[in-house]
Structure 1
Amino acid sequence: MFLIWVADLAHVHDIGAERNIELDGLAFTETFLIATIDAALAAQNACVAADSLGFSTVYTGALRNHPAEVATELNLPRHRSRRPVRPESPPARPSGRSWHRRR
């Protein structure tokens, strides 16, 4: 499974355009940072939840190396950035050993 969190400023841009409102704040660095941090926090919370269920997770930053290609592959409009996380299966339990889950 491969999950990607998206900092979605395009949705806000589309709403503004639909209502004929110019949203100058979308161009601000702070707006981008807040959206990116929100996406990163959501990904982190998902990792904590996955861990509580016995799954391990891996953040994959390699998508940042080719942002245009990734956006094209995911069919993302402009003003959206990605925060990828790859949840992995729970570790295999060797026979004859008991494992417990962290709480």
Structure 2
Amino acid sequence: MWADKSYTEVTFKGCRPTEPASNFDKSVDIQLYTAGFGDKVGPLKHFTKCFELSTSTATWTGLPKGLYYFKIVKIGGESHELKKIDVDQVRVDTTLAD
């Protein structure tokens, strides 16, 4: 959970499936929520580049001041409870100026 004034960027780097890749759609979907009530904020973000030795980045702008968190809601197009991934680096940035 983190405090935010208007901008959030979430980055995943180095995503790997924990099961054989042949059985795995290499994607992960994340959703941003407000803390407390757990309301969804903005659209679901779909990551694939982090599986290709690159980085996947999602941004949300125009956010009201408050506390936020994100959840992985799908892995490989399915409920995250059914599949698992390893991620080398997860970064949350709340400054637009970089």
Interval of TM-score (by shorter of Structure 1 and Structure 2): under 0.3
Per the normalisation by structure 2, the TM-score is: 0.28
TM superposition score normalised by structure 1:
0.27
**Larger radius of gyration, structure 1 or 2?**
1
Q: Which structure shows the higher strand fraction?
A: 2
